[in-house]
Amino acid sequence: TWTTSNVVEESVAAIREQVGTKRAICGLSGGVDSAVAAALVQKAIGDQLTCVYVDHGLMRKGESEQVEKDFVAATGVQLKVVEAEQRFLDALAGVSDPEEKRKIIGREFIRVFEQAQAELVAEAGAAGEAVEFLVQGTLYPDVVESGGGTGTANIKSHHNVGGLPDDIEFQLVEPLRRLFKDEVRNVGQELGLPEDIVHRQPFPGPGLGIRIIGEVTKDRLDLLREADAIAREELTAAGLDREIWQCPVVLLADVRSVGVQGDGRTYGHPIVLRPVSSEDAMTADWSRLPYDVLSRISTRITNEVDEVNRVVLDITSKPPGTIEWE
């Protein structure tokens, strides 16, 4: 019978058989799929697995801690964290064009990830243990989409795990290949992963880098992180997390408008709320959020976030608007 605990048991057995006594590596993105795949493999082979997490400084408030502390606490996984914030900020300095930002973030991510991977392979090799396996959080819909192929690495870059160094060939371990998203969440729950990871809404690989309209700087990222955290907190408090597909919070960094706060004139930035409902992100409609929730978010953001004096609501469906602004 098809129960979540059977799925876990069978996957663990299959992973043990596939990997044997060799070593495996898994990149964590902060998303559900890589987290559940890693937790399953960890359950199967323990310390033969090492995870890599690249902190590019473009994550939302608390997300890196979720991976670095909560995920590790829940699974006991060995984790290599690469702090790369400054590297990403340097690479993004002066860049406002959306596609250029995406290319830079993708490129830097692959470089950092490959370097970390090569280091791990070298360290393990020095200890006489071959690293032959790469864990991927590929889901059933991904398998169908790419024609059902399997085997050695040919990885879609949108999965955040980048390409592989030319000189290393890995066998793929894909424990989620037969599962849909909701089943993956059930497996994550069964494995005791933190709620915040198991029920995470979609978040783009380039992170907040594509939610700042204009140049990406540390100050702007910090500002957006605060505004985003407030919006998420209020949506969660209102019990709306499962109802909305996702709610990008966007900083119009190159726009200023006049406002009045306290007894002074302000000249600050607008924050855009982009709550959407969707089945698959291919099309979307703007979510009709309750006015009182919108009101709380607006009041809190303008009160609590310096330099923001206006909150606006994006009421565009997709098409014609995409979900993200860049």
Q: Which residues bind ligand XMP (CB under 6 A)?
A: 158, 202, 204-206, 246, 281, 318, 322-324
- For residue 157, CA distances in Å to 25, 77, 84, 123, 153 come to 17, 24, 19, 26, 11
**Alpha-helix runs per DSSP H in the chain:** 4-19, 32-45, 63-65, 72-75, 85-92, 98-126, 140-145, 181-190, 195-198, 218-237, 291-304
Q: In the bound complex, what is the minimum distance in angstroms from residue 278's beta carbon to ligand XMP? A: 8
Is 35 labelled as part of a ligand binding site? yes
Closer Cβ to ligand XMP, 48 or 136, answer by number? 136
Q: Which long-range contacts (C-beta less than 8 Å, at least 24 apart) are formed by 3-12?
A: 4/183, 4/186, 4/187, 4/189, 4/190, 5/190, 7/179, 7/183, 7/187, 8/40, 8/43, 8/187, 8/190, 8/191, 11/40, 11/44, 11/175, 11/187, 12/40, 12/43, 12/44
Instruction: Tell me if 112 is assigned to a ligand binding site.
Output: no
Q: Which is nearer to ligand XMP, 32 or 45 (CB)?
A: 32
Closest to ligand XMP by CB, 166 or 279:
279
- Asked whether residue 33 is marked as a ligand-binding residue, the answer is yes
84 is in an annotated binding site: no
Query: Shortest gap between Cβ of 194 and ligand XMP (angstroms)?
Result: 20
46 is in an annotated binding site: no
Report whether 32 belongs to an annotated binding site. Answer: yes
Q: Which is nearer to ligand XMP, 175 or 206 (CB)?
A: 206
CB of 143 to ligand XMP, least distance (A): 17
Nearer to ligand XMP, 190 or 324 (CB): 324
CB of 217 to ligand XMP, least distance (A): 20
Distance in Å, CB of 157 to ligand XMP, minimum: 9
**Which residue ranges are tagged as binding site for ATP?**
29-35
**Which residue ranges are tagged as binding site?**
29-35
